[in-house]
Structure 1
Amino acid sequence: MLPATFLLERMMMPHQTPPPTPVYEVADLFIDYLDALGIAYVFGVPGGAIEPLYNAMARAMRQGRGPKPVVARHENGAAFMADGYARETGKIGVCIATSGPGATNLITGVACAFDNSVPLLAITGQPSLPSFGKRALQESACTGINTVGMFRHCTRYNSLLSHRDQAEGKLVNALMRATQTRGPVHLSVPVDILRMPLKQTGPSYDLSTLLYRPSLVDEAAVRELAELLRSTKRLAIVVGGGCGEAIDSILELAELFGARFVTTPDGKGFINPAHRLYYGVFGFAGHYTANAVLLDEPELVLAIGTSLGEWVSAAWCETVLNDKLIHIDESEEHLMRSPMAKLHVRGRISTVFQRLLELLKAGHLPPPPPVAPEVRPIEMLREPDKYRCNATPLKPQRLMYELTRYLPPSTRYVADAGNSTAWAIHYLQHHDRRREHHDLPPLEERRHFNGGWLRVIMDFAPMGWAIGAAIGIARGNRDCPVVCLTGDGSYLMNGQEITVAAEEQLNLIFVILNDGALGMVKHGQRLAGAEQICWQLPRVDFQLQAESLGIPGHILRSPHDFELLDWQAILRRDGPTLLDVRIDGEEVPPMNLRMKTLGTGK
């Protein structure tokens, strides 16, 4: 029997109510769906109209689950990071921003993903629904600055949530579109909708079935292609940026027919530049050897996984766009650009080539033609003497050589828009080490993502993309070094994002091609005989800038300076390193194709 004093004390204690049951909000549902997809990081900048999503991430993180936020310094950088994360992991990249200017700051990065077929989910906030039309702060619905209308032009799916019962259906629809059509989607969500409670306590739908990409293929077209190939003695292949998961089968076909192959600029990262059948890059900043293959009167040209836009078709060159062309792609938009082709083969590229190889091996194959003479990577270069030139200031050609001397074969290189892209496409080779490894990166790493060892941006090519994309790549995969090749102009636009790499302790090397100029503008004006105006930039000491942020920096002026760096320490460091490379600004990048397109080149 309890003592009377104990009973008296219990009666005098204040009444204790059980803790309230946690409310499950629309924001929690969003985070749970991202968790179900295995998305580990969300890139964005917080703000009042998007605060419930950050609250939901915090609640999930306390339970040891869900994505973690990565705070960008600018929303545009957040979109670029989500782009890089998607390319590296094969998952949907996610970026979030508040209403008004937060949403508009995302648009360039979302448009870039749209033009490059990168699956990305952008979530932006809105003021509460009752405040619509009352000039609420940063209102961006149809009664304010209509950001939903702006996103309509650069997304595969775009919608404003106006009721909590729409949340799950529209989110799932957006995720399905991002996955199945390979592009960005956008949801604009009022802050009061994000906070609204739901009766359910988790996702209702199984995303593993809804987001499954079926291996659809035009069987009749594949059979027709097999018959064409059986009677072909001179075959050329153009490997495009959409060939990531199919590259093994494509190379098997090339070897089966002894077919010489070239790549588009964005396809170079999928192959081994030392492969005996590889003849270089066709298109912007490409190689004369690649042009020679297509001018050598092939009977058929397979163009695979490419948009056939300006940079990847050598400005719509007739050596590709003719009646010998077989265009293979899963994108109807890409196939629309080759109406002159002998045959269109629609379908998922990996499935097309698996089926094609089955048909070819089951029937009679012609004997392979004599093996074409092998072209060593250095023999493709426009100015091979400058590739190993010891001059000071450092030649940008030599910079590409030095990087691959000291960095491991697993390195991911990300080249920014402008001269950095041109130098990387033409001169970055992964030279000697690639002869020790037939395919790099390892095959199992490549089958599930749209990456490769070199990533460049095509079509819609914003300056500074590589800075954010490199952070997204490094955040998605900590096992490989990531090198961002960028110019001083791009870095002055977006370089503040290096502090994100420092905060996230990412092993990232920022290589700034510092020539005190907007290099492509300067050289373009000279080549065109135009007025020399507005290309100058101040010569910034980026080493000092990096050190002011607590990031190690180095100035490199000559090839010898590379030998003085402790590369092992740089590669082991939990954080970024900046290399301020003072390049010879008088070296003209391989940009004649761009000049021709602008009507000012030969």
Structure 2
Amino acid sequence: MPMANISHAQTDMQIADLLVAYLEQIGVSHVFGVPGGAIEPLYNAIARSQRRGGIRPVVARHESGAAFMADAYTRETGKIGVCCATSGPGATNLITGVACAFDNCIPMLVITGQPSLPSFGRRALQESACTGVNTLGMFRHCTRYDSLISHPEQFETKLVTALQRAMRAPCGPVHLTIPLDIMKMPSPVPAPSYQLMDKLRGASLIDMDAVDRLCQLFATARTPCLLIGGSCSEAIGDILAFAHRFSVPYVTTPDGKGLIEPNDPLYRGVFGFAGHPAAGALLRDPSVDLVLAVGSSMNEWTSSGWSHSLLNDKLIHIDESAEHLARSPMARLHVRGRLQSIFSCLLRQAPQAIAPRPSDAAGIPTWKTESHQAVFSATSANLPDQIGPARLMHELGKCFPPHTRFLADAGNSVAWAIQHLMPGGYAEPDNLDQVSSTATTTPSVPGGWLRLTMDFAPMGWAIGGAIGTAIGNPEVPVVCLSGDGSMLMNGQEISVAVAEKLNVVFVVLNDQALGMVKHGQRLAGAERIAYELPPTDFAALAQAQGAHGITIRTPEDMASLDIPAILQRGGPCLLDVYIDPEAVPPINLRMQMLGGAL
């Protein structure tokens, strides 16, 4: 539509209503945020949408929690998560959650308010434009697109551009900041000018020359293996079909573990932070002559501290993100493109006569034996009245149904979950002799059954994330695994789960310490300082917010839990689990990297 015609369009719709109309068009059901004066027109527009059965607001207790919720909503639904905040401190409070989404390549639309344009430069309350505390400049470093709307006729172009940047690789958050008066101005158009669904779909472009070269290398490889990263969710079905067709053993990165069934006999465990020795042994095996790393960012945790056992000329790095590929310059081949398209092509073109390794066809997966031994050796070392965190993870996996979403928070919680958590319904360590040599992998939901953060990894992410997951899909159980330090930092968000009547179980690993700090200091021989936390009754804190709270101090308390009854009860529940405070978490990789930097 020509600009001259746009400026004369007659409409009662405000810019805020136009924004909400676009969100409705792309299927967004909720907006996460904390209201305030400079963002009030957006909430007015959301109220109008809600009355007609459209978008609902979810009021977080802190803006960082809103960003964590939007992040997890994206992971669960595949739709873009939306969070908003008022100007000034509202916007700066969002930044931690936005930075986390940026480092983890999670699409997100971030909307912040500003005082009215005429007040810029006059020290308006919470002014955060270029003439105040410049939040636009702050967001520039943790978003894929960042812009101020200074005229209503800019709005559609900038919004569409932002959404496309958010959803195209490398994905990530985008930020628009809108002055109060602009948000209240009449829209230049009576309805959205663009249909966005087709424009936001992932592109299927691939480097066919590189795929052809990959097929040649794979055909001549004697013993190839796969490393499956956290960016493989869309393509996981084809990737696992490829592995099984050619009997290719595989490992996962920590953030890729939730995409596969751990009971698959081709699976060799987690490679990287808190991973399994069997996974590293596979990559170090001299007979392995080709490693296909798929959808891995090659950061510290996913590459096992940039280990030479992965980053060498055996490596073929397959990814849609040029940023990820830039971290493996030593690779024999880079294949860039949409992973689903690449593996669909490989399944059609790859040679059919790749001999399986003898160990691929039968036997108990080695990583599982390791995990089994660790769980029970750790338990036997505990005092009778203590709960080992490794055993806790084992029991939680048994208690909850297979479709449960687990979110593990930064700290020791994520380390224990990566190494020992298995979803319910799969073969358990005490039934290792019953593992089928012909088991097949059934991929779980696109976001995976276990979700965690890499790189930025803020404490408390899983608390808000569990709420965003449950908002996105209220039909499934959601379990947040968090430490007492994270819960003291972000536990107020439980009241959001209460208000929304969400079926979330918060599990607090209570050792009265910042556990990773405590054990890290001991492992490094550093001064033991600033890690202790006072005794806290988290069950009582949950009850004070309106949630159900249960204290678990002994293995007998754990055994008496009736998880089906808790899930049928509805609403959030917190399990305050007093774990063995001396159990050493599997954080050796982190200690090696910190030690190398000293």
> For this structure pair, what is the TM-score category when the shorter chain's length is used for normalisation?
over 0.9
Q: Name the structure 2 match of 1:369.
A: 357
% identical aligned pairs: 58
Pair 1:505 & 2:472 matched: no
Pair 1:206 & 2:199 matched: no
Pair 1:111 & 2:99 matched: yes
Separation in 2, partners of 1:236, 1:321: 14
Residue aligned with 1:598, SS: helix
Q: Name the structure 2 match of 1:80.
A: 68
1:99 to 58, 69, 87: 87
Report the CA distance shift for 1:364/1:69 in structure 2 as closer, same or farther (over 3 A). closer
Pair 1:418 & 2:411 matched: yes
- Map of 1:545-584 to 2, 5 A cutoff? 545-584=541-580
- 1:439 deviates by 4.3
Residue aligned with 2:231, SS: coil
- 1:255 deviates by 1.7
Q: Which runs of 5+ in 1 are unaligned?
A: 1-20
- 1:63 deviates by 1.8
- Map of 1:89-488 to 2, 5 A cutoff? 89-181=77-169, 182-297=171-286, 298-360=288-350, 363=351, 365-372=353-360, 373-375=363-365, 378-381=368-371, 383-386=374-377, 389=380, 391-430=384-423, 433=426, 438-439=440-441, 442=444, 445-446=445-446, 451-488=447-484
Check the 8 A contact 2:376/2:391 in 1, yes or no.
no
- 1:36 deviates by 0.3
Residue type of the partner of 1:151? F
Bigger mean CA offset, 163-172 vs 376-385: 376-385
- 1:250 deviates by 1.2
- 1:259 deviates by 1.6
Bigger mean CA offset, 123-132 vs 175-184: 175-184
- 1:330 deviates by 0.2
Which of these two proteins has the greater Rg computed from alpha carbons?
Answer: 1
Check the 8 A contact 1:440/1:453 in 2, yes or no.
no
Report the CA distance shift for 1:376/1:52 in structure 2 as closer, same or farther (over 3 A). same
> What is the aligned length?
573
Report the CA distance shift for 1:549/1:562 in structure 2 as closer, same or farther (over 3 A). same
Check the 8 A contact 1:506/1:576 in 2, yes or no.
yes
Separation in 2, partners of 1:294, 1:456: 24
TM-score, normalization: structure 1? 0.93
- 1:212 deviates by 2.2
Separation in 2, partners of 1:438, 1:509: 30
Separation in 1, partners of 2:167, 2:402: 30
Check the 8 A contact 2:240/2:441 in 1, yes or no.
no
Separation in 2, partners of 1:571, 1:376: 34
Give per-residue Cα distances to partners, 1:357-403, cap 9 Å, x unaligned: 1111xx55333332434316531326232466583211101110111
Give per-residue Cα distances to partners, 1:109-128, cap 9 Å, x unaligned: 00000000000000000000
Residue aligned with 1:315, SS: coil
- 1:551 deviates by 1.2
Report the CA distance shift for 1:429/1:517 in structure 2 as closer, same or farther (over 3 A). same
Residue type of the partner of 2:338? R
Report the CA distance shift for 1:409/1:103 in structure 2 as closer, same or farther (over 3 A). same
1:595 to 588, 591, 596: 591
- 1:438 deviates by 4.8
Report the CA distance shift for 1:327/1:273 in structure 2 as closer, same or farther (over 3 A). same
Bigger mean CA offset, 481-490 vs 563-572: 563-572
Check the 8 A contact 2:407/2:481 in 1, yes or no.
yes
Bigger mean CA offset, 79-88 vs 568-577: 568-577
Q: Name the structure 1 match of 2:489.
A: 493
- 1:329 deviates by 0.1
Residue type of the partner of 1:596? Q
Check the 8 A contact 1:388/1:401 in 2, yes or no.
no
Check the 8 A contact 2:11/2:187 in 1, yes or no.
no
Q: Which runs of 5+ in 2 are unaligned?
A: 1-9, 428-434
Residue aligned with 1:245, SS: coil
- 1:569 deviates by 2.0
Separation in 2, partners of 1:419, 1:368: 37
Residue type of the partner of 2:268? Y
Give per-residue Cα distances to partners, 1:63-92, cap 9 Å, x unaligned: 222x11000000000000000000000110
Bigger mean CA offset, 313-322 vs 199-208: 199-208
Residue type of the partner of 2:141? H
